Amino acid sequence: MSGLGPGDHACLVFDIPARRDALVLSFFEEGLLRGDGLVYVDSGTDGRVAADLSRRATDGQLIVIRGEDAYLQAGGFEPDRVLTMWGETIRTLRAAGFSSIRSAGGPPLALTCNGHSHELPDYERRAGELIAGRSVTAMCAYDMRKTDATALLGIVDAHPIVIYAVRPDGRLRVEQESPTRLHPRGWIDVTTLGSLVGPLSDALASGGNVEIDLRDVDFVDLGGWRLFVEAAGLLAEQSLDLTVRSAPEWAVSVLGMLGYGEEEGLILQ
Amino acid sequence: MLYEGTDEFLAAALPFVSDGVAAGDPVIAVAHTPNVAALREALGADGAAVELVESQDWYHSPGRAFGGFLGFAQANPDAACVRMIGEPIWPLGWEAAVAEYAHYESVFNVIAGEAPIWALCPYDTVALPDAILDHALHTHPEVCTYRGGVAPSDRFTDPETYCAHLAGRTVLPGVRARRFPVTHDLAALRRSVEQEAVHASVDPRNVGPFMLAVHEAAANALTHGGGDASARTWIEDRTFVCEIADRGPGLSETVAGYVPPEGEAHRGRGLWMTRQVCDLVEVQSREGDTRVRLHVRRG
């Protein structure tokens, strides 16, 4: 975590909570050493990280907020309200004498895999603007297995820095034949989709047209097709395309039924 | 619209279509071949302004036919009124499919109530059995004939009640079914069901989309099904069937998956897609017992 500094807005994509907790603790270790103000958003943990930090922080140095309290204050997700809360939290720590602030944690499960998860990418963009130039370092943790994959692609895109703490998945191996060419093997469904997000995000960031070759993929579920549509949309913003090779013949008509048929930037071959 | 013979069909349908053309309304008329031919001839030059389709080219499945009509309405978003004639080829002898077409006729009231759609549904009183004419009277608030009179249907039943009635009548055919667990190993389920589908002589071109529908139904059952989902497959005269059952709170039997997805919302796309790619979809939903039966044609 030593690479992160003031103004950085990083996304931590993980699949094992223990690995997340270790990285979050490492991130805060530096803050403790430097005397930073610390904000920990505690979602889906056993409480050990919060307890450890509370024991070691000085008076007023640490603010722990439950994920539900941070993101679902009014029962639902209201980005404006959450961003206002962040602004107030930063001011509170500044007033307590902490000129540099570190924040880590992430939204609760009730938000990452419900019908409002598609609002998270825009929220994260706005959060990045909020902390830019304010001596705040933020690391937003998202559970790859419990976040809607299409939303996760947008969330990753909204962060300038992305850290992947994800085990290789034997059910879906993704070979990067070049920075912009992906060759997945296995199947792409709700149980494996998260494994594709990392390589796909890297390919999207490479600045060229992207290709995904499905010749060794025996199944793609609706979530997989949605992920391709989302990726194509992100590329189209840069006047670039996503080509999906070896797509089944019926894919075009099924995507059309879903209203995805004329997506800009998506080429099925 | 109850009619007997092509002359009566034409006497009722022609004014409906001609008035629409004169008013500048988008008009689509899907009807049996002799009726389309008579309408085309009677319209003359006005026929160019009407989308005339023979029923066998439109009614491949209830979901696709219904989706086609909604697509026609959506393609004309600025129209003050969209006029439609829809005359299905009723699948006589296939009770589940007849019930599903009746379900669509009933649900259409919900859709048409929210959109500027004016629909005329012809029923041939000579060719169709009483059971289907009874469906017609339960699913259409008004009845007309070639004489031009329009009267309220005293048997019309609100869609929610009638759809629940239709779903409740569905019974499992007396066939031997194969059972499969629905667990997070969805790939294993897909392999098993695909093997059965191939064994049942499902056209290989239809297996891929059908398996997508099976997967989405199973994934939905895992997510919302109260942790106890199962699958069964069997072969019927016309179709191969995969049923996904769960013990979740269930879903609306009235409109679930009948309306196409809109905007950014991704929820609901799975069942909509399923109704489009399958030849028949039956949904039975009671508290703690939801069954989604997906049919694909054999041969």
Of the candidates B187, B190, B209, the beta carbon closest to that of A254 is on B209
From chain A residues 78-117, the ones with a CB under 8 A of any chain B CB are: 115
- The CATH number assigned to the domain with range A9-165 reads 3.40.50.300
Amino acid residing at A92: T
C-alpha dist (Å) from residue A214 to A218, A268, B24, B194: 8, 11, 47, 19
User: Roughly what angle, to the nearest 10 degrees, separates helices B62-74 and B269-277?
Assistant: 120
- Is residue A255 classed exposed, middle or buried when 0-12, 13-18 and 19+ CB atoms within 10 A define those classes? buried
Q: Chain A partners of B277 at a C-beta cutoff of 8 Å?
A: 250, 254, 257
CA-closest candidate to residue A214, choices A255, A179, A172: A172
Examine the domain organization and report whether B241 and B130 are in the same domain: no
Cβ within 8 Å, pair A115-B265: yes
* Arch. (CATH architecture) of A172-268: 2-Layer Sandwich (3.30)
The encoded tokens of residue B121 equal 């549904």
pLDDT of residue A1: 57
Please give the ipTM for the structure prediction: 0.84
Q: Has residue B171 got a pLDDT over 60?
A: no
B173 within a domain of the structure (yes/no): no
Residues of B in contact with A146 (CB under 8 A): none
pLDDT of B48:
93
pLDDT in tens, B28-75: 999 999 999 999 999 999 999 999 999 999 999 999 999 899 889 989
CA distance A115 to A98: 37
The total domain count for chain B is: 2
| Chain A environment of B215 (Cβ under 8 Å) | 189, 219, 221
**CATH code of residue B230:** 3.30.565.10
Mean pLDDT for all residues in chain B: 89
- Convert the pLDDT of each residue in B185-215 to its tens digit: 899 999 999 999 999 999 999 999 999 999 9
How far, in Å, CA of B9 to CA of A145, rounded?
58
Q: Is A257 in the B-facing interface, judged by CB distances under 8 Å?
A: yes
Distance CA A181, CA A87 (A): 41
Provide the residue ranges of all domains of chain A, joining segments of one domain with +.
9-165, 172-268
| Closest by Cα among B165, B146, B168 to B156 | B165
How confident is residue B121, by pLDDT bands cut at 50, 70 and 90? very high
* B267 lies within 8 A of chain A by CB: yes
Per-residue pLDDT of chain A (269 residues; tens, 9 = 90+): 557 888 899 999 998 899 899 999 999 999 999 999 999 999 988 889 999 999 999 989 999 999 999 999 878 899 999 999 999 999 999 999 999 999 999 999 888 877 678 889 999 999 999 888 788 999 999 998 888 877 888 898 889 888 888 887 888 999 999 999 999 999 998 788 888 988 998 899 899 999 999 999 999 998 899 889 889 988 998 999 999 999 998 888 888 888 776 667 899 98
**DSSP letters of B42-68?**
HHGGGGGGEEEEEGGGT-SSHHHHHHH
Q: What pLDDT is stored for residue B65 in this prediction?
A: 93
Q: Is B172 among the domain residues? A: no
Chain A interface mutation, best of B266, B267, B269, B296, highest count of A Cβ atoms under 10 Å: B266
**In this structure, are B132 and B11 located in the same domain?**
yes
B70-114 confidence digits (pLDDT tens): 889 989 989 999 999 999 999 998 888 999 999 999 999 987 777
B245 within some domain: yes
- Note whether B141 and B55 are same-domain residues: yes
Q: What percent of chain B clears pLDDT 70, i.e. is strictly above it?
A: 92
Which of B210, B188, B186 lies closest to B198 in space, CA to CA? B210
User: In the prediction, which pLDDT does A136 show?
Assistant: 94
Give Cβ neighbours of residue A229 (< 8 Å, ≥ 6 apart). A150, A255, A260, A263, A266
Domain that holds residue B287: 178-297
pLDDT band at B264 (very low <50, low <70, confident <90, very high): low
B110 in a domain, yes or no? yes
pLDDT band with cut points at 50, 70 and 90 for residue B285: confident
Would you say residue B137 lies in a domain?
yes
Residue B84 has phi, psi (to 5 degrees) of -135, 140
The reported pTM is 0.79
Beta bridge partners of A176: A182
Cα separation, A260 vs A262, whole angstroms: 6
Which residues of B are less than 8 Å from A250 in CB distance? 205, 208-209, 277
Closest partner residue to A189 (CB to CB) among B208, B215, B265 is B215
